[in-house]
């Protein structure tokens, strides 16, 4: 085997760890993804750097925390001042390709929900580059590649290199509200695709779950199939190359809307899904930020078509889970096709397969759907599988890992030095994390709370501590005694020593993740 193997990184969107067969799901069948675990190592304690799309995907690419790479929340494009691990692979001679979702830039085209306040009466406020404490170029057109306006011309294509990727075939959006290269592919095959897209054109069904959409787009034209087809084609086109390659295959599913196409819609029956524990517990008092979300839904004021967490009923939870299983099963079939393409190409024996997700989804746990500032395991813990033909097989580990460790581990295996200031660690090296450190912020005020959430979380082998800026309270859960995270120990007198220890660990994590770049240019 060559010293520098190929890599295929599979990544899904809004896919919690326990929704794979190899992580113990009682109904969901994922044999192809499970095969990565069988041939490699499955991490049972793998956490995001931030439980939301753009910040965590930026952490994946830069091997750095959101406070350091600058994508603190959704809506901030990843500045090219950041070095990505893909650029380092390319610099060392790797071919690099991205097929599917990027979301390193905004793709809605909508204005921000948070802006610089107007100047106070009698005060002058500078415009342009002087209006913020750090100059940036994020308003330039090069950071609008994923927005609808860029793709209004169907001949558009992503300028490369794109954060280190030489080849990009992009899917933007979720469900069948899509854009990017996929839209051109779709309309070439079905000129009337617009008549099949969206909730207004969906097929009949009796589901009540918000954003349950029985798409009229057939399986063969759905984005999951497009991504598999294009990945197969890329592998075939490079089967005779001498260069090693890094291929990222990135699906927008199983992110809501819950709209698995064709046979995947009713592959799983909601009646077979267990009702989440929160609906039967009489001793659970939701923390304020969760209580607020649930009460807004009960009052009929929740934004059911949005992206933020909403309250839900037990039946809605069952339906959301069943439909999510259908979406994941379709992805699993796509993974199998790409694995077959690797083997047919003759490059499977020198290719490391990696599988992960960008963050999780409530799916009814704690009476919630979607995701938000809630730092429950269902949102922060994701799958991570690593299958190296020259490495261990059939192993599981309780070692703590995080998203920003993925690129660092790939670089180490490829014998490429990480850039100075990258904060990920080699997951197979001597250094191990004692705890996961997670950062979260959002533009939108939380339902029922009325403030924009800013949360830092520490998760060690037993406890989860979350500290909310300016709220006067936090959360501590003992996941050995309370795996469902129902008993908040923040004000517990008995847990005071644990609280003090966790707060000290959080302070140490904050210090450890202070930016080390740039290096000094001399001595003062």
Q: What 3 state SS string does 38-60 have?
A: HCCEEEEEEECCCCCHHHHHHHH
CATH no. for residue 381? 3.40.720.10
Angle, vertex CA 509, rays to CA 508 and CA 515, nearest 5: 110
Nearest to 441 by CA among 17, 14, 76: 76
The token pair at 98 is 């991205």
**Closest to 438 measured CA to CA, from 466, 477, 463:** 466
Let me know if residue 130 belongs to a domain.
no
DSSP-derived secondary structure letter, 286: -
Q: How confident is the model at residue 426 (pLDDT cuts 50, 70, 90)?
A: very high
Name the token pair of 445: 């005020």
Quote the CA–CA distance of 66 and 52 in Å, as a whole number.
Answer: 11
Give the separation between CA 78 and CA 99, rounded to whole angstroms.
18
Helix (H, G, I), strand (E, B) or coil at 75: coil
- The answer to whether residue 46 sits within a structural domain is yes
CA distance 52 to 188: 33
Please report how many Cα atoms fall inside a 13 Å half-sphere around the Cα of residue 84, on the Cβ side: 18
pLDDT at 491: 97
| Two structure tokens written together for 140 | 């330039």
Residue 345: pLDDT over 90: yes
The predicted-structure confidence for 79-124, as pLDDT tens digits, reads as follows 999 999 999 999 999 999 999 999 999 988 889 988 999 999 999 9
Place of tokens 């302070």: 507
The verdict on residue 476 lying in a domain is: no
Measured in Å, how far apart are the chain's first and last C-alpha atoms? 49
Q: Is the pLDDT of residue 245 over 90?
A: yes
pLDDT exceeds cutoff 90 at 412: yes
> Considering the domain boundaries, does residue 292 fall inside one?
yes
Percentage of residues in the chain having pLDDT higher than 90: 94
3-state SS assignment for residue 88: helix
HEC sequence for 99-117: EECCCCCCCCCCCCCCCCC
Domain extent, residue 243, equals: 6-113+139-434
Number of Cα atoms under 13 Å in the Cβ half of residue 430: 0
Distance CA 60, CA 50 (A): 10
**The pLDDT value given to residue 154:** 63
Reported confidence tier of residue 1, pLDDT bands at 50, 70, 90: very low
**Would residue 84 count as lying in a domain?**
yes
pLDDT of residue 449: 73
Per-residue pLDDT tens digits for 294-315: 999 999 999 999 999 999 999 9
Specify whether the CB–CB gap between 111 and 261 falls below 8 A: no
Q: Is residue 2 predicted with pLDDT exceeding 60?
A: no
Examine the pLDDT at 361 and tell me if it is beyond 60: yes
Q: Which helix (H) or strand (E) holds 377?
A: helix 377-380
User: Is 192 among the domain residues?
Assistant: yes
Tell me, yes or no, whether 450 lies in a domain: no
Sheet holding 384-387, edge to edge: 177-180, 167-174, 95-100, 245-250, 6-12, 351-357, 384-387, 41-47, 395-402
3-state secondary structure 451-494: CCCEEEEEECCCEEEEEECCCCCEEEEECCCCCCCCCCCCCCCC
Task: Give the SS3 label for residue 396.
Answer: strand
pLDDT at residue 17 tops 70: yes
User: What's the total number of domains in the chain?
Assistant: 1
Residue 336 has pLDDT above 60, yes or no: yes
pLDDT of residue 113: 87
Mean pLDDT of the chain: 96
- The first and second tokens of residue 232, run together, are 């197969």
Of the ranges 20-29, 172-181, 321-330, which one carries the lowest mean pLDDT score?
Answer: 172-181
SS3 53: helix
Q: Assess whether pLDDT exceeds 90 at residue 274.
A: yes
């Amino acid at each position: 085997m060559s010293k520098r193997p190929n890599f295929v990184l599979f990544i899904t969107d809004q896919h919690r760890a326990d929704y794979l067969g190899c992580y113990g799901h009682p109904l969901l069948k994922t044999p192809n993804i499970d095969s990565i675990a069988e041939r490699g190592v499955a991490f049972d304690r793998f956490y995001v750097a931030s439980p939301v799309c753009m910040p965590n995907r930026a952490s994946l690419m830069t091997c750095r925390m959101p406070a350091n790479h600058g994508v603190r929340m959704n809506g901030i494009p990843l500045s090219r001042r950041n070095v990505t691990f893909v650029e380092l692979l390319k610099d060392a001679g790797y071919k690099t390709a991205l097929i599917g979702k990027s979301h390193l830039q905004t793709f809605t085209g909508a204005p921000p929900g948070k802006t610089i306040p107007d100047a106070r009466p009698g005060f002058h406020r500078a415009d342009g580059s002087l209006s913020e404490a750090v100059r940036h170029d994020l308003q330039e057109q090069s950071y609008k590649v994923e927005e609808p306006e860029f793709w209004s011309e169907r001949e558009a294509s992503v300028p490369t290199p794109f954060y280190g990727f030489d080849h990009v075939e992009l899917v933007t959006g979720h469900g069948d509200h899509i854009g990017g290269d996929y839209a051109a592919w779709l309309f070439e095959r079905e000129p009337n695709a617009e008549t099949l897209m969206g909730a207004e054109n969906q097929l009949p069904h009796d589901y009540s779950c918000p954003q349950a959409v029985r798409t009229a787009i057939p399986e063969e034209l759905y984005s999951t199939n497009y991504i598999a087809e294009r990945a197969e084609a890329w592998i075939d086109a490079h089967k005779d190359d001498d260069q090693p390659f890094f291929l990222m295959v990135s699906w927008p599913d199983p992110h809501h809307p819950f709209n698995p196409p064709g046979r995947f819609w009713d592959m799983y029956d909601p009646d077979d899904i267990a009702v989440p524990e929160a609906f039967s517990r009489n001793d659970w008092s939701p923390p304020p930020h969760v209580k607020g979300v649930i009460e807004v839904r009960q009052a009929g004021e929740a934004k059911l078509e949005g992206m933020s967490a909403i309250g839900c009923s037990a039946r809605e939870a069952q339906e959301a889970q069943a439909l999510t299983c259908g979406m994941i099963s379709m992805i699993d079939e796509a993974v199998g096709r790409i694995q077959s393409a690797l083997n047919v190409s003759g490059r499977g024996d020198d290719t490391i397969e990696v599988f992960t997700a960008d963050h999780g989804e409530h799916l009814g746990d704690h009476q919630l759907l979607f995701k938000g500032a809630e730092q429950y395991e269902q949102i922060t813990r994701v799958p991570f599988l690593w299958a190296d033909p020259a490495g261990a097989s059939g192993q599981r580990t309780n070692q703590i890992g995080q998203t920003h460790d993925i690129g660092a581990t790939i670089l180490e295996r490829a014998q490429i030095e990480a850039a100075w200031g990258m904060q990920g660690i080699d997951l197979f090296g001597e250094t191990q994390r004692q705890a996961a450190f997670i950062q979260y912020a959002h533009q939108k005020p939380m339902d029922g709370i009325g403030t924009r959430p800013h949360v830092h979380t520490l998760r060690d082998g037993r406890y989860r501590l979350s500290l909310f800026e300016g709220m006067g309270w936090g959360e501590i859960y003992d996941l050995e005694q309370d795996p469902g995270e129902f008993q908040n120990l923040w004000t517990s007198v008995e847990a005071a020593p644990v609280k003090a220890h966790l707060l000290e660990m959080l302070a140490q994590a904050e210090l450890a993740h202070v930016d080390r770049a740039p290096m000094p240019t001399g001595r003062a």
